[in-house]
Amino acid sequence: MYYSCVNDTDGRPGASGAVADPTIFTVIHAAHALEDKLEEALEKAQLSMPKYSVLNELVSADGALSLGELASRLSCVRSNMTQLVDRLEADGLVRRVACPTDRRSVKAEITEAGRKRQAEGNEAVTKLQDEVASSVPVEDRATLVRLLAHLK
């Protein structure tokens, strides 16, 4: 199991003698396992999760977005978005275009190659979602979703 019930000084249970509830560690372990599977699925489409996320946003927006808008939508800092768009542009998946209303601003626009790669990524993610869903009995899925909602 992924959790530990020892303190960080002498390897024994905490001061109260109680063993920690493993729930949070079990959830974290499951999340890491799913994240690893998602990264593996996207690798088949030659995408990382950050690249896939940017391509998804550009497809959803149905047009160019400023790097600031992308950073905001994906909850990351603008400097990271600049580097990510640099890599996507080098891969030929996006291109930078001038903002028609603000000469100081630049936008990212998805290319046809980017649309194709995003669709391949979507296919891989959908397949993984189906595999995960099929691993949980139908009668337990709604319960799982309901229980996980408590963690938000």
pLDDT at 112 > cutoff 60: yes
The share of the chain scoring above pLDDT 90, in percent, equals 62
CB 5 within 8 A of CB 20: yes
For residue 21, name the pLDDT band (cuts at 50, 70, 90).
confident
Q: What's the distance, Cα to Cα, between the start and end of the chain in Å? A: 23
CB 106 within 8 A of CB 97: yes
* Window from 37-46, 48-57, 139-148 with minimum mean pLDDT: 139-148
pTM of the model: 0.79
pLDDT at 90: 97
pLDDT at 11 > cutoff 70: no
pLDDT at 101: 81
* Spatial distance between the Cα atoms of 116 and 109, rounded to a whole number of angstroms: 14
Model confidence pLDDT, tens digit, residues 33-50? 999 999 999 999 999 999
Residue 30 structure tokens: 């499951």
* Spatial distance between the Cα atoms of 101 and 79, rounded to a whole number of angstroms: 22
Q: Which pairing describes strands 65-66 and 106-110: parallel, antiparallel, or unpaired?
A: antiparallel
CB 96 within 8 A of CB 108: yes
* pLDDT, average across residues 82-108: 91
pLDDT at 17: 60
| Mean per-residue pLDDT of the chain | 87
pLDDT at 139: 87
What domains sit in the chain, N to C, each tagged with a CATH number?
A: 47-149 (1.10.10.10)
